[in-house]
Every structure is written in structure tokens, then in C-alpha cells.
Chain A
Amino acid sequence: GENVEQHPSTLSVQEGDSAVIKCTYSDSASNYFPWYKQELGKRPQLIIDIRSNVGEKKDQRIAVTLNKTAKHFSLHITETQPEDSAVYFCAVSWGEYGNKLVFGAGTILRVKS
């Protein structure tokens, strides 16, 4: 099956600094790569996603880069703010129809003010 590894498991940054979270995957047929944010006690919510036909996507302070050859993709958060503190999960589409989402183990991001 698809194997998704996410690093680091925890990340502490100073407010205003950048944060980078990386995921690697095993199935070269995967073509959809979303990132979800889960605040404490809340449901996961999509923050950004990318498909395999592009290498980078940006939405204000958040960007995702994809390297299909190396089978890894990364989440970049610039100018971090305390409200960015949460658990971030990467996911990869997998399966015969490419619509099974397998999640990474998550990264706890703490932004210190």
C-alpha cells in the first residue's frame, strides 16, 4: 500500500519565522497532495492542495512544492503567527481510482510569540 512519511513530528518556530514540513510517499501513481490543519479539539480542514501537473502552488503565506521525481512534497508557511499553531497533516491520493487519501502522521507546529 501507499506509505506516507512526514517530518518533523514537532516543530517550534519564533513568530515571524518560516516553517517547512516535508512528506515523502511511495506510489508514483499518486496525483493529488493536500495539506490539512487540525487545531486542538477541532476537525481537520484543508488549507492547500496540489495536483501532479504543477510543481508549486501558493496561497498568501502558505505554499506547497511538489517533486514527483523524488516523490516528496513540502508545506511552507512564511511569517508565522501564533494562530498557525496546530497539527498539520499531509495526505496522498492512492488506490485503483486514486481517491483513497492516506495521511501522514502529522506535525505539531508551535509558534512562539
Chain B
Amino acid sequence: GAGVSQSPSNKVTEKGKDVELRCDPISGHTALYWYRQRLGQGLEFLIYFQGNSAPDKSGLPSDRFSAERTGESVSTLTIQRTQQEDSAVYLCASGGTNTGELFFGEGSRLTVL
């Protein structure tokens, strides 16, 4: 596609359930980022991929959070045993090899009841 696609756009889940969020970056973009944005807040860095490798996982809030990327393309962010504080919009962004413009997806809005 022409832009970054994320799915689902909205997800409501019960506390304790696992969720998977998907990101399809722009074709050919080697860099892929996940950010979390709580309501009215800034962009919190979670994890960054260069190709299929994640040189920086420092932003993952806890071991309940994990992410992978395959084929230098699709990435999945998994949150296990969700908690209410996980409620947020999870934004994915992709970019070229060198630091430059990031193109963001529309985000996946997660609500944990």
C-alpha cells in the first residue's frame, strides 16, 4: 500500500487477555518503530527495528510486551496479560535506512476494561 497500515484500528479487551497489534510498513522501508500515546500525552518510544533486528528494546514497559518483525516487513506488537494502564493508541512508523522522515500509521486504539 501507499502508507503504513495498522490493524486492528480499535481493540477492546478484558484485563488479563493477550492482544496482538499488526503493522504493515511502507514497502522498502528498513526502519520500523512502535510508539505508545496515552490520551493527551506525547509519543513514548517502545521499540525500534532495523530490518528484522531490534537493536533497541529499551522502551518496552515490561516483559509483558514483545515485538517481532519478519521479512523486513510486517511487525507484530504483542501485549500479554493486558492491564488497564496498557490502554492507549499504539502507533507504528516506518522510515528509510538513514535517519529521516518517519511515516506513521493511523494507530491501533487499545482499551483494556
Contacts and interface: CB of A to CB of B under 8 A. Distances in A.
Interface string B7-51: 000000000000000000000000101010000011101001010
A103 B105 CA distance: 17
B105 A43 contact: yes
Interface in B80-105: 91, 98-102, 104-105
Contacts of A101: 33, 45, 99, 102
Contacts of B31: 99
Nearest to B107: A43
Interface of B is mostly: loop
Tell which of B35, B45, B55 has the most Cβ of chain A within 10 Å. Answer: B45
A97 B55 contact: yes
A97 B51 CA distance: 14
A101 B35 CA distance: 10
A29 to B, nearest CB: 12
Nearest to A101: B102
Interface of B: 31, 33, 35, 41-43, 45, 48, 50, 55-56, 58, 91, 98-102, 104-107
A98 B55 CA distance: 12
A102 B45 contact: yes
B99 A43 contact: no
Contacts of B107: 43
Contacts of A34: 101-102
